Chains A and B, each alone.
Chain A
Amino acid sequence: GQSLEQPSEVTAVEGAIVQINCTYQTSGFYGLSWYQQHDGGAPTFLSYNALDGLEETGRFSSFLSRSDSYGYLLLQELQMKDSASYFCAQDNFNKFYFGSGTKLNVKP
């Protein structure tokens, strides 16, 4: 598999903005995805970056920089329901390898 590193845990307050970083070592991949997983639930797709730059989907945005070997997920206007684990996943020619995961705690 591949090595994609994320901070293990992040805490933020409702209404704030939080950025979750994902750094990797392997180059030459199709794209970088982000998934959300609530405790006991299935991972759900959030965003996909095939190219460098910012992709915006509502309150969530994702960024990729291949030259810097990193990406991030930006969550705006945090809500309590955003408390979950977030995973980046590298699309290595149609095989998907997941990052270590970040547990986001949103506090009132």
Chain B
Amino acid sequence: SAVISQKPSRDICQRGTSLTIQCQVDSQVTMMFWYRQQPGQSLTLIATANQGSEATYESGFVIDKFPISRPNLTFSTLTVSNLSPEDSSIYLCSGGTENIQYFGAGTRLSVL
């Protein structure tokens, strides 16, 4: 199994600013992903974090708004840029191998 550490656990930000979320895995995983989840809703895949190269974004998500880095197999960051109240949500990272994903506890973002 893998343990995913995500920080910050929560933050309150002003509109127009940016927030960077960090995700650390305690063992090597082949895949890392970023998701967004509104309370009580499903998880929406934002992007696949690729080691050493540009992330692969899902429809509706763009690099300028959600830049992602993954410098090595165990660490990734997601930045949510130019924040607006619509970005208020829970952001989750996951890491895993072929069949199983392990999730961080999430970052609860509130934008004022």
Interface string of B18-60 (1 = CB under 8 A from A): 0000000000000101010000011111001000000000110
Query: Distance in Å from the Cβ of A20 to the closest Cβ of chain B?
Result: 14
Interface size class of A (residues with CB under 8 A): 20 to 34
Interface size class of B (residues with CB under 8 A): 20 to 34
Query: Distance in Å from the Cβ of B107 to the closest Cβ of chain A?
Result: 11
Interface string of A44-71 (1 = CB under 8 A from B): 1100101000000000000000000000
Cα A50 to Cα B48 with chains together (Å): 21
Known: A41-B105, A94-B31. A31 touches B99 (CB 8 A): yes
Interface of B is mostly: strand
Selected contact of B98 from candidates A43, A45, A87, A94, CB within 8 Å = A94
Q: Quick check: A98 and B42 within 8 Å, CB to CB?
A: yes
B92 within 8 Å of A (CB atoms): yes
Q: Quick check: A87 and B43 within 8 Å, CB to CB?
A: yes
Known: A1-B59, A33-B99, A48-B99. A96 touches B104 (CB 8 A): no
Residue of B nearest to A31 (CB): B99
A14 within 8 Å of B (CB atoms): no
Interface residues of B (CB under 8 A from A): 4, 31, 33, 35, 41-45, 48, 58-59, 92, 94, 98-106
> Could you give 19 example pairs across A and B, Cβ below 8 Å?
A1-B44, A1-B45, A35-B101, A41-B105, A42-B105, A43-B43, A43-B94, A43-B101, A43-B103, A44-B103, A45-B100, A45-B102, A91-B99, A94-B98, A96-B33, A98-B35, A98-B42, A98-B44, A101-B42
